[in-house]
Amino acid sequence: MFTASPVKTNFYGVSLVRSPAFPVLPRRLQHRLPLSRQVRAVISREEKAVDQEDEKSTNRSVVYSSSPAFPWQRSKYTGTKTVMAVVKIRKKMREKLTERLEHQFHLLMKAVGQGMLIQLVSEEIDPETGSGRRSLETPVLGLPKARNDPRNLEFTATFTVPTDFGKPGAILVTNLLSSEICLSEIIIRDGSDTILFPGNTWIHSRNDNPEGRIIFRSQPCLPSHTPAGIKELREKDLRSVRGNGKGERKTHERIYDYDVYNDLGDPRKKDRVRPILGGPERPYPRRCRTGRPLVSRDPPCESRGKDKEEFYVPRDEEFEDIKRDTFTAGRLKALFHNLVPSIAAALSNLDIPFTCFSDIDKLYKCDIVLRPTEPKDAGLGGFFGGLVDGILNVGETLLKYDTPAVIKSDRFAWLRDNEFGRQALAGVNPVNIELLKELPIRSKLDPAVYGPQESALTEEVIAKEVLHYGMTLEQAFEEKRLFLLDYHDLLLPFVDKINSIKEDPRKTYASRTIFFYSKAGALRPLAIELSLVPTPENDNKFVYVHGHDATTHWIWKLAKAHVCSNDAGVHQLVSHWLRTHASMEPYIIATNRQLSTMHPVYKLLHPHMRYTLEINSRARKSLINGGGIIESCFTPGKYSMELSSAAYKSMWRFDMEGLPADLVRRGMAEEDASEECGVKLVIEDYPYAADGLLIWKAIKNLVESYVKHFYTDPKSIASDSELQAWWDEIKNKGHYDKKDEPWWPKLNTAQDLSEILTSMIWIASGQHAAINFGQYPFGGYVPNRPTLLRKLIPHENDPEYEMFMRNPQYSFLSSLPTQLQATKVMAVQETLSTHSADEEYLIDMKENQRRWFQDEEVVRYFSKFSEELEEVEKTINKRNRDKKLKNRTGAGMPPYELLLPTSPHGVTGRGIPNSISI
């Protein structure tokens, strides 16, 4: 094994050969020495003698005068000691031939010390320089050791430092190679002490940026507790990630900054013009700035780049290889399943509707087997085979859509009213149902534009339906049995616009649905109101109730389908994208800009930020963009993001995003100090809320213990400069359009901080899991949750009414998305519902965080947290076996597992990752 070649000197100021001090070097290039000219020093902790070779050589690359290069050489000699470093470098999981050759060359460069330089910085101040003591800038040497870790290679370096050097608090890393290096960690062994410097970061090439990277040791500390020797580096590192708000970002950079959503459309194409989100007219959370050139000045819209060109995200935010493969595999599946209907649609210039339910069933039975192929020729077949193997890296892969959980054991469950109601409590979007407190329901929209504010769901209508359950309307209100799913005010301003879309027609209403919670424990729909914008002749409010004759039965199914279609759009654009993905992005940007990696709050939040910026950038590229999947396959069409902005403006509040506060706001829970989370559910059998409160409680317990550990002084919260700058930036930059709202929480006490952090971690983990990983299990069967409908409900005088009477099944199916639209959505839903093999789960925090904390007390907090989640899983499984809980168990009914903490990889309908990673 090679060792580092540190400075050789007689310690009396004669001369200094090789590896000069970091501040003295005019150019780091002078470290590149031929092997024949290297000098090896052998210095032990006890010895003061140095064995020098070729001291008389006149052909040295670097020779200095008698003036000592290091401050500690200028003072009285106190002895030296040897410090060892183990440097772990992440391997690429999969490489092209050219990359393999480059990799072998880089290994050689590392072996001879030409790959990476590292320099220790002490926590102690050097009195000569007024900054932290520094070791020599030492090359990392030696042949790599694979150990038992298939993902990392180990290299070593040896430092010689004075005995009073102090504890290393930071390491300066310079990458001499032509390409980036992924640094996993550096372990420093100083006698009996072992100090961890966590990395998990990409180190840019010096060719891209001559500034090296600063890696701090794992021990968290508040700004006021920063050791004097590394205080300056802490501030420098923060400045380096903020950028200056100018220029286009480069792929190797890790700059975090804010911008508005001005890259969703393309003003140069008439059908791709989209408004900018972010500003007084259309408020929205800010995204990560990329600095791409503008394609128009008025409005100032960014270029979207080439089709295959990915948007910038800071380098450490990008997907790793395993995650990238999982994402790409989903796209490949979409290609195969869309191939036939795409060709047919192109030939006929029409989309193909479903004509019978067997057409839908075929989507789950069409298997395509890909066998190993080698790209032996330049033909299409060779290219395609290579493409498939390159993307999936498999020998034989069966591509098929699994039968969604909602119909797996009961193909007709989706038709029943009790399943329609159950999914409002235990489906993929259980976050919008609210307690109905009074009748009539009143709109807040302008009556001059949108007609009378009173709903057509009158007391008379509801009293008649409640009577079927042997109860008066007064009793139903008193016993809190009436509930509401209200999308009226959000959707009505967009209804005319949506219904006027020509290029890809779809039809919609603004909807309200009233439910009744029976004594048997079932939530059933009582009545549905579907509204169009009123005209002088008609208020255009239509009320539908469950009937018993054939015609009313089918009309009722169409009304429920329109409610489901609205719910699917609101789920994707508001519950999912806005309230988790988009709202979380400013928290991540502010955390990286204002909190040092040494800060305890940064370390707590770091696992909950993984991959979020990357998945959000991919969404802007192909999901929520003009002409993207959401627009083409969901009801709001090209008005999708405007609707999301309207929801942000009218309903988003940080103080209501925590689970208990949200439940109380919707009337689904009442404040009760005797309950563990301070709230008591109105419907005990509300699976999302009941299980979610267990997760919330565990997160809250962890956060409170953690915050209390680091903030022992009551005044330390208010005096933490980084923390206050972080919270101020979230409010005034990240959510700029809401900065003047009075409801923003204060940040003065440990309790304030605990509540803020608990909400953020809940949103990134439990909340996102509950509304994301059920997308395919519930939405994969198109009739259960159609993402759009292409027809309004026919009335007796309508031309289509006669066709409806002759063949109501065809009328229903032809209203659903086309086969092309359906398979597109299914592919996206399956991809978004998939856990990748490298998923990091909330329950595994004790293992993930053990490596980054050397404080045993903090490690115990995470261990206790994992133990609590193990108990939560047992509780949920027990609830799912309780026959009294009708929303969890029943014949053919899938149990509610979306908030089970554990999951294997794949589409499982369960598992809580740490972060919004898909």
Provide the annotated active-site residues: 576, 581, 768, 772, 918
Q: Are 6 and 160 in contact (CB under 8 A)?
A: yes
What is the spatial distance between Cα 762 and Cα 750, in angstroms, rounded to a whole number?
18
Sequence-distant (6+) residues with CB within 8 A of 633 are: 787, 788, 817, 821, 824, 825, 828
Q: Report CA-CA distances (Å) from 372 to 95, 337, 339, 375, 772.
A: 19, 20, 21, 10, 33
Q: Hey, which residues does 525 pair with through a beta bridge?
A: 515
- Could you tell me how many residues make up the chain? 918
Helix axes 583-594 and 612-622, enclosed angle (nearest 10): 130
What is the spatial distance between Cα 558 and Cα 812, in angstroms, rounded to a whole number?
7
What is the spatial distance between Cα 789 and Cα 222, in angstroms, rounded to a whole number?
55
Element (H, E) at 709: helix 687-710
Cis ω before 901 (30° cut-off from 0): no
Element (H, E) at 162: strand 152-162
Helix (H, G, I), strand (E, B) or coil at 913: strand
Exposed e or buried b per residue across 247-281, where buried means at least 16 C-beta atoms within 10 angstroms of its C-beta: eebeebbbbbbbbbbbbbbbbeeeebebbbbbbee
What is the spatial distance between Cα 86 and Cα 19, in angstroms, rounded to a whole number?
20
DSSP state of 157: E
What is the spatial distance between Cα 915 and Cα 762, in angstroms, rounded to a whole number?
9
Site of tokens 């198109």 = 782
Cis ω before 127 (30° cut-off from 0): no
Element (H, E) at 186: strand 181-190
Quick one: how far is CA 441 from the chain centroid?
37
Q: Which two tokens stand for residue 688?
A: 């999302």
What is the spatial distance between Cα 66 and Cα 733, in angstroms, rounded to a whole number?
54
What is the spatial distance between Cα 399 and Cα 42, in angstroms, rounded to a whole number?
61
A 10 A CB-CB count for 299 gives: 15
Q: Report CA-CA distances (Å) from 801 to 356, 559, 806.
A: 19, 15, 9
Q: Are 638 and 626 in contact (CB under 8 A)?
A: yes
Cα atoms found within 13 Å of the Cα of residue 543, Cβ hemisphere only? 14
Q: Are 886 and 753 in contact (CB under 8 A)?
A: no
A 10 A CB-CB count for 595 gives: 23
What is the spatial distance between Cα 810 and Cα 355, in angstroms, rounded to a whole number?
6
Q: Hey, which residues does 160 pair with through a beta bridge?
A: 82
Sequence-distant (6+) residues with CB within 8 A of 556 are: 544, 545, 546, 547
Q: Are 753 and 708 in contact (CB under 8 A)?
A: no
Q: Which two tokens stand for residue 520?
A: 């048997």
Quick one: how far is CA 142 from the chain centroid?
38
Q: Is 15 exposed, middle or buried (0-12, 13-18, 19+ CB in 10 A)?
A: middle
What is the spatial distance between Cα 812 and Cα 826, in angstroms, rounded to a whole number?
19
Residue type, 306: K
Provide the pairing of β-strand 294-297 with 300-302: antiparallel
Helices (H), 367-526: 380-392, 405-408, 417-426, 447-450, 459-467, 473-478, 488-499
Q: Are 890 and 410 in contact (CB under 8 A)?
A: no
